[in-house]
Amino acid sequence: MNKRCGLCKLIVRTLFQNPGFIEAVRGGQAAEIRIATRDVGKVIWRPVEQDNTEFTIGDLEWRSGWCIEDGCMVRYVRRIDVSAKLDGRYWQGVIRPSNHDAIDERDRLLLVRSMPSDRLDVRRIKSWLGDCKAYHGSACRPTAWKDLDLHGVRMIDVKRRCIVTAPAGCQYFALSYCWGDGTKVEHLKLTTANLEQLHTPGELSKDNVRVPCTIRDAIYFTECLESKYIWVDALCIIQDNTTELEVQLNLMDRLYKSATLTLVAATGADAWSGLAGALSGSRSSLHFTETVDDITLVTASKDYIGAIEAAAWSNRAWVLQERNLSPRLLVFTPKQVFWECNKAAWSEELQQECFDFQIQIELDTSIARFKKPHPDLSPVQRYAFLLAQYTPRELSNQDDALNAVQGLLNDFESMFPEGFFWGLPESIFDTALLWDFGVYQQAPKPRRTLFPSWCWAGWQAAASFSVGSPFESAFQNQKPSSNASLGRPDSVKDASTVRAEVAWFRIARDNSSWKTVRNNWIGHAGSTFFAESLERWQAQDLRAHLDWTLQVLEQAGTPATHALGFWTQVVLLDVDRNPHKDNPSAMAVRNGDGRYVGYINLTAEWRGSRSDRLSFALVARNVRWSESLLDLLCIEWINGIAYRVQVVRNASITDKVWHKLDPEWRLILLA
């Protein structure tokens, strides 16, 4: 590298911002460095008539960096990505153009601006909040919660530095952060023992060393933004009161949707990491500047996606509902603070705020902010979208698999009026039951025994709704406003790809009777087996069957609420012991003649410990293709109870093929 070259200097400085790189180069070895330019986005300026005089592109003064496209002035903005490889390790950096010398607002957009290096500028955050309120209207407006005080909600009073009962209709901030490993780092929590003490003014002051740095910074910053209250889960919910925990967890949707602003601690892995930039000296965000060919270039930080993907916070399961339910987020990362609301994403470093109706900013899609489900998606697609994001995330306590997403499920209640059964919408139960572990994810995964095997929460694994799943196209043409048509098989608007072949039943909460699973959005017109499944169920002695079921479940130590009872047809099919030649993670499923009928993703260890033939139950019909095909679930029998193993993928089983497999009707207890 040329020591006199401004660009070379910036390349070195941006890499040296990575502490690991400094240590690596001290060994004296040369690093392999690569640079590449990429589009950040573009600014589109649409001139309009001024003073009733025709205003044309040709009359405009030509500006450096601007060009004409489709009758508009357009300025493309690029950045330089730097990467270094040394001893098999990689480091990255970013160099961006700066707006330090630009006078016109149009010339400053998408360029790096001046910002404090050791703490954030509170005035900018106030400006963001004010602009969002002024220009974004109802899209970003928190949900009004007038009876907040009647639900036992507590807040932290940031002026009195103590816990208080939430006043009716109060405006407040919320905090989203990582607790950390409680076995390694303990921090102050609200309990029945310290409840009275923490209601005493001053108990949450900065002098109380038991208050984690993140919470302490959040209290201070809330006061800086002139808000009186902040909600923090660890200190606003009694953590050793099971009844209160259940009640408050069911309020998560309202708590985050009603917050004026949610502060996000995307720095560090526990509650002692603090909010970088909230206090003086709490971060280092220096920009190094060089002029290259009359362009001012500076070392820059990671963009929004890169910054939060590197944070432990973004992998936390609880975060998904906190992000999606909060109308506004202020995200603290090690180098800068980001703003995300339902209408915009802004950063301290990059000038993106623009409220001139003549100007449009288009960001490169690969570096845009995380997307929430599009409002035009159907209820099924929204559910599938969010669950696919949620299930791969990390949970400290595996028993929280449903608690950590309960706020989102509550938020879905208006879309799925029949509610949820173990995280699956009852309205589309047949469809929801067909989740799988993904194209290359082998089953079975580690179990969460607190949940049934047939629901996604029952496994420590990602639930996939990928190609080949009914989730991909189910109800794809539906809008939330047209839900009323979903239960009508004769409706041309019914775009469901699943038809019911099984009548499902579950046990009432008081164990007194069987209840129908209300999958009323799934039609059974064109089904072959549904009618007989229902008739067989109704023909049996339901009281005697319930007594037997409760006895079997009790002997197995399985809660009655886990049970699904139903009649369906079952077959035994040969499953290869070696992977499929075209898919090393899958094994072929074959009929008695050795003919391929589909494949299933199984671990070699599990497959090797089972017999040649495995049990498969008919669970639904997929009418996605021109010829309707049957959906099968591999089940394992243990002491009279069936447990889910994995769905069959790419099953090519028509009614004709099914009958040749010699199926038999069986009464199944699935748990």
Q: Angle 627-440-603 (CA atoms, 0-180°, nearest 5)?
A: 110
Which tokens hold the place of 262?
Answer: 């949610």
Under the banding of pLDDT at 50, 70 and 90, the label for residue 431 is: confident
Given a contact cutoff of 8 angstroms between Cβ atoms, the answer to whether 564 and 633 are in contact is no
Q: Which residues are CB-neighbours of 641 under 8 A, at least 6 positions away?
A: 552, 553, 556, 558, 669, 670, 671
Looking at per-residue pLDDT, the higher value among 428 and 374 belongs to 428
Q: What is the pLDDT of residue 483?
A: 34
Name residue, tokens 């072929």.
588
* 633: β partners: 617, 647
* 499: β partners: 621
DSSP character for 625?
S
Q: What is the pLDDT of residue 50?
A: 47
C-alpha span between 496 and 523 (Å, rounded): 8
What confidence tens digit (pLDDT) does each residue in 653-670 have?
999 999 999 999 999 999
Which tokens hold the place of 422?
Answer: 């173990």
Question: Which segments of 358-466 does DSSP mark as H helices, in order?
Answer: 379-390, 406-411, 429-432
Q: Would the pLDDT of 382 be above 70?
A: yes
Interval 257-282 mean pLDDT: 94
Q: Would the pLDDT of 501 be above 60?
A: yes
C-alpha span between 530 and 226 (Å, rounded): 61
Q: What is the pLDDT of residue 414?
A: 85
Strands 261-265 and 173-176: parallel
221: part of which helix (H) or strand (E)? helix 213-224
Least confident piece of the model among 30-34, 111-115, 266-270: 30-34
Q: Single out the residue of 648, 657, 647 nearest to residue 589, CA to CA.
A: 648
Q: What is the pLDDT of residue 627?
A: 81
The segment with the largest mean pLDDT, out of 10-24, 93-107, 397-411, is: 397-411
> Which value, in Å, is the radius of gyration of the alpha carbons in the chain?
29
pTM: 0.88
The segment with the largest mean pLDDT, out of 102-116, 322-336, 429-443, 481-495, is: 322-336
C-alpha span between 135 and 132 (Å, rounded): 5
Interval 353-378 mean pLDDT: 76
Q: Single out the residue of 401, 412, 421 nearest to residue 519, CA to CA.
A: 421
Which tokens hold the place of 557?
Answer: 């130590």
Q: Which residues are CB-neighbours of 357 under 8 A, at least 6 positions away?
A: none
C-alpha span between 597 and 657 (Å, rounded): 9
Interval 634-650 mean pLDDT: 93
Q: What is the mean pLDDT of the chain?
A: 87
